[in-house]
C-alpha cells in the first residue's frame, strides 16, 4: 500500500505551475493524485473537522486539503484566480453562478465524487455543499495566494455582494466546526 506523499505532490504541482500550460499541467498532477482516493486519504488523514490543511502557499500557487463537515454549505464566492478541486473522500455539490445586471443568477450545477477533479476559471463563482452525513475532503489548488487575495462572496439569502478574504473563510470554517460540535453534543 502506498501513501500520498504531501511533499512530492507539492513539488510536482510547483514544477507543473512553471510549465507553459500551467493549468493543464497542474490538473494532470491533481488528477493523477486523486485517481486513488484511498491513497490520498491515508496520506492526508481522515477528516475530523472543517478546515484547510495548507500544503503550500506562495504568490503564484496555494495548495491545501479542505475538509467539510457533514451537511456544510459555503455561500457563493469567487477566487479572482483559477482554481482546481480534487475530491479524495465524500462528495461536493456545486452551484455555479454569474453576475448579471439584475444581480447574481444561477448558471448550472455539478457533483464531484471521490476521484473527480474540477477546474474553475478566474471569473468563476460557485457555492458548495457537502450533502453527506459524513465528512468530505478535497485537495484545492489556486493560481495565486488564496489567503492574500481580496475576493467576493454573496449573501446566501439576499445574494448581495460583499468583500471576503482568507481570514473570513477561516472564520466560516470555525463557525461550522462550532455548529457541528453543538449538533453532535450529547443531551
Compute the distance between CA of residue 75 and CA of residue 104 in angstroms, rounded to an integer: 12
Q: What is the pLDDT of residues 31-57, one digit of tens each?
A: 999 999 999 999 999 999 999 999 999
Cell numbers at residue 60, please?
503564484
pLDDT, average across residues 2-24 = 96
Q: Which of 150, 138, 149 is nearest to 64 (CA)?
A: 138
Percent over 90 (pLDDT), the chain: 91
Q: Are 33 and 17 in contact (CB under 8 A)?
A: no
Q: Are 43 and 59 in contact (CB under 8 A)?
A: no
Q: What is the pLDDT of residues 112-122, one digit of tens each?
A: 999 999 999 99
Enumerate domains of the chain plus CATH numbers: 6-183 (2.60.120.10)
- pLDDT of the residue at 1: 64
Q: What is the pLDDT of residues 133-146, one digit of tens each?
A: 999 999 999 999 99
- pLDDT of the residue at 3: 86
pTM for the full predicted model: 0.95
Amino acid at each position: 500500500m502506498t501513501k500520498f506523499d504531501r511533499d512530492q505532490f507539492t513539488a510536482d504541482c510547483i514544477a507543473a505551475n512553471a510549465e507553459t500550460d500551467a493549468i493543464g499541467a497542474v490538473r494532470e498532477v491533481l488528477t493523477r493524485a486523486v485517481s486513488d482516493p484511498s491513497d490520498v486519504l491515508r496520506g492526508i488523514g481522515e477528516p475530523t473537522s472543517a478546515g484547510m490543511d495548507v500544503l503550500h502557499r506562495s504568490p503564484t500557487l496555494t495548495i491545501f486539503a479542505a475538509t467539510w463537515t457533514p451537511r456544510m454549505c459555503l455561500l457563493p464566492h469567487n477566487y479572482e484566480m483559477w482554481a482546481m478541486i480534487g475530491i479524495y473522500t465524500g462528495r461536493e455539490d456545486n452551484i455555479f453562478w454569474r453576475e448579471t445586471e439584475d444581480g447574481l443568477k444561477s448558471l448550472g450545477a455539478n457533483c464531484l465524487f471521490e476521484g473527480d477533479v474540477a477546474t474553475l476559471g478566474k471569473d468563476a463563482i460557485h457555492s458548495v455543499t457537502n450533502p453527506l452525513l459524513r465528512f468530505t475532503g478535497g485537495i484545492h489548488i489556486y493560481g495565486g495566494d488564496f489567503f492574500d487575495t481580496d475576493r467576493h462572496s454573496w449573501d446566501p439569502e439576499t445574494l448581495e455582494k460583499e468583500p471576503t478574504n482568507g481570514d473570513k473563510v477561516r472564520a466560516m470554517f470555525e463557525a461550522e466546526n462550532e455548529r457541528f460540535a453543538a449538533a453532535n453534543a450529547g443531551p
